[in-house]
Chains A and B, each alone.
Chain A
Amino acid sequence: MPDKPLAPEDFARCPLPISEHDTVQLGHGAGGRMMQNLISNLFRWAFDNDALNKMDDMAVVSLPGNKLAISTDSFVVDPIFFPGGNIGELAIYGTVNDVAMSGARPLYLTAGFIIEEGFPLADLRRVVESMRDAARTAGVSIITGDTKVVHKGKGDKIFINTTGIGVIEHPHTISGTNLQPGDRLILSGTIAEHGMAVLSQREGLQFDMPVLSDAAPLHGLVSRIIEAGGGSVHALRDATRGGVAAVLNEFAVSSKVGIRIQEKSIPVLPAVAGACGLLGLDPLYVANEGKLVAAVSADKAEEVLSAMRAHQMGKNAVIIGEVIAEQPAVVTMQTLLGSWRIVDIPLTEQLPRIC
Chain B
Amino acid sequence: MKYLEEYRNPEIAHRLLDEIRDKVTRPWVIMEICGGQTHAILRNGIDELLPDTVTLVHGPGCPVCVTPLELIEKALTLASRPEVTFVSFGDMLRVPGVSRDLFKVKSEGGDVRIVYSPLDAIRIAKENPDRQVVFFAVGFETTAPNSAMLVAQAVREEITNLSLLVSHVLVPPAMTALLDSPQNRVQAYLAAGHVCTVMGWQQYESIVRDYHVPIVVTGFEPVDLLSGILSAIKQLESGQAKIENQYARMVTREGNLYAQRQIDDVFQICDRTWRGIGVIPRSGLKLRDKYATFDAEPRFGLTDLVIAEPADCISGIILQGLKKPNECPQFGNRCTPATPLGATMVSSEGACAAYYNYQRFRNLSEK
Which B residues are CB-close (under 8 A) to A354? Answer: 63-64, 89, 91-92, 138-139, 142-143, 349
Across the interface, do B222 and A336 meet the contact criterion of CB distance under 8 Å?
Answer: yes
Give A30-45 as 1s and 0s: 1 = Cβ < 8 Å from B's Cβ atoms: 0000000000000000
Chain B CB within 8 A of A347 CB: yes
B140 interfacial by beta-carbon distance below 8 Å: yes
Complex Cα distance, B222 from A335, in Å, reads 10
> With A336-B8, A355-B139 given, is the CB distance from A347 to B338 under 8 Å?
yes
Q: Given A205-B116, A355-B143, are A338 and B10 also a contact pair (CB < 8 Å)?
A: yes
Task: Please measure, in the bound complex, the distance between the C-alpha atom of A213 and the C-alpha atom of B216, giving whole angstroms.
Answer: 40
User: Cα distance A277–B39 when bound, in Å?
Assistant: 13
Within 8 A of B (CB), among A315-347: 324, 326-327, 330, 332, 335-342, 344, 347
Q: Does A270 count as interface, using CB distance less than 8 angstroms?
A: yes
Closest approach, in angstroms, between the C-beta of A235 and any C-beta of chain B?
22
Q: Which residues of B contact A270 (CB under 8 A)?
A: 1, 4
Assess whether B43 is in contact with A335, with CB atoms less than 8 Å apart: yes
Do the beta carbons of B222 and A351 come within 8 Å of each other?
no
Interface residues of A in 271-297 (CB under 8 A from B): 273-274, 277, 279-280, 282
Give chain A nearest CB distance to B224 CB in angstroms. 12
Establish whether residues A280 and B361, one from each chain, have CB atoms under 8 Å apart when the complex forms: no
- Chain A's closest residue to B64 (CB) is A354
Say if the beta carbon of B240 comes within 8 Å of chain A.
no
Is A352 an interface residue when CB atoms closer than 8 A count as contact? Answer: yes
Chain B residues whose C-beta falls within 8 Å of the C-beta of A340 in the assembled complex: 45, 48, 362, 365-367
B207 CB–A CB distance under 8 Å: no
A352 partner residues in chain B, CB cutoff 8 A = 89-91, 116
Is A13 in contact with chain B by the CB < 8 A criterion?
no
CB of B357 within 8 A of chain A?
yes
A154 contact set on B, CB distance < 8 A: none
Query: Smallest CB-CB separation from A282: which chain B residue?
Result: B43
B359 within 8 A of partner (CB) = yes
Q: Does A9 interact with chain B (Cβ within 8 Å)? A: no
- Cβ contact within 8 Å between B358 and A355: no
Assembly CA distance A327 to B362 (angstroms): 11
Chain B residue at minimum C-beta to C-beta distance from A277: B4
Give the chain B neighbours of A273 by CB distance below 8 A: 1, 4
Cα distance A347–B356 in the bound complex, in angstroms: 12
A203 lies within 8 A of chain B by Cβ: yes
User: What chain A residues lie within 8 Å of B138 (beta carbons)?
Assistant: 354
Interface core residue of A340, A342, A354 (most chain B CB under 10 Å): A354
Indicate if the CB atoms of B222 and A337 lie closer than 8 Å.
Answer: yes
Q: Which residues of B contact A347 (CB under 8 A)?
A: 94, 337-338
Q: Which residues of A contact B365 (CB under 8 A)?
A: 327, 332, 340
A338 to B45, CA, bound (A): 8
Interface size class of A (residues with CB under 8 A): 20 to 34
Contact B93 A337 (CB under 8 A): no
Residue in A260, A264, A342, A350 whose beta carbon sits within 8 Å of that of B358 in the complex = A342
- A229–B71 alpha-carbon span in the complex (Å): 58
Q: Is B36 an interface residue (CB 8 A)?
A: yes
Instruction: Out of B36, B46, B337, name the residue touching A337 (CB < 8 Å).
Output: B46
Whether B348 and A280, one on each chain, are in contact in the complex, defined by CB atoms closer than 8 angstroms, is yes
**CA distance in complex: A326, B358 (Å):** 18
Known: A337-B14, A337-B46, A341-B359. A351 touches B366 (CB 8 A): no
Q: Given the known inter-chain contacts A338-B10, A355-B143, please indicate yes or no for A344 contacting B116, CB distance below 8 A.
A: no
Write out the residue numbers on chain B whose beta carbons fall within 8 Å of the beta carbon of A282: 43
Bound complex: CA A332 to CA B89 (Å)? 30
**Chain B residue with Cβ nearest A332:** B365
Is B63 in contact with A355, judged by CB distance below 8 angstroms? yes
Among A264, A274, A341, point to the contact of B45 (Cβ < 8 A): A341
Report chain B residues within 8 Å CB of A336. Answer: 8, 10, 13, 44, 222
| Residue from A264, A326, A339 with most neighbouring chain B CB atoms (10 Å) | A339
Closest residue on chain A to residue B222 by CB atoms: A337
In the assembled complex, the Cα of A279 lies from the Cα of B356 at a distance in Å of: 21
Which parts of B1-20 form the interface with A (CB within 8 Å)?
A: 1, 4, 8, 10, 13-14
B49 interfacial by beta-carbon distance below 8 Å: yes
Residues of chain B lying within 8 A (CB to CB) of residue A332: 361, 365-366
Chain A CB within 8 A of B194 CB:
yes
Extra pairs beyond A274-B1, A338-B14, A339-B48 (15, CB < 8 Å): A270-B1, A280-B36, A335-B43, A336-B13, A337-B10, A337-B13, A337-B49, A337-B222, A338-B10, A340-B366, A341-B359, A342-B358, A347-B338, A354-B139, A355-B63
Q: List 30 A-B contacts (CB under 8 A).
A: A203-B116, A270-B4, A274-B1, A277-B4, A280-B348, A330-B364, A332-B365, A332-B366, A335-B44, A335-B45, A336-B8, A336-B10, A336-B13, A337-B44, A337-B49, A338-B10, A339-B44, A339-B49, A340-B45, A340-B366, A341-B45, A342-B357, A342-B360, A351-B91, A352-B90, A354-B138, A354-B142, A354-B349, A355-B63, A355-B140
Chain A contacts to B: CB under 8 angstroms: 203, 205, 260, 264, 270, 273-274, 277, 279-280, 282, 324, 326-327, 330, 332, 335-342, 344, 347-348, 350-355
Q: Which are the 3 A-B pairs with shortest beta-carbon distances?
A: A339-B45, A351-B90, A355-B142
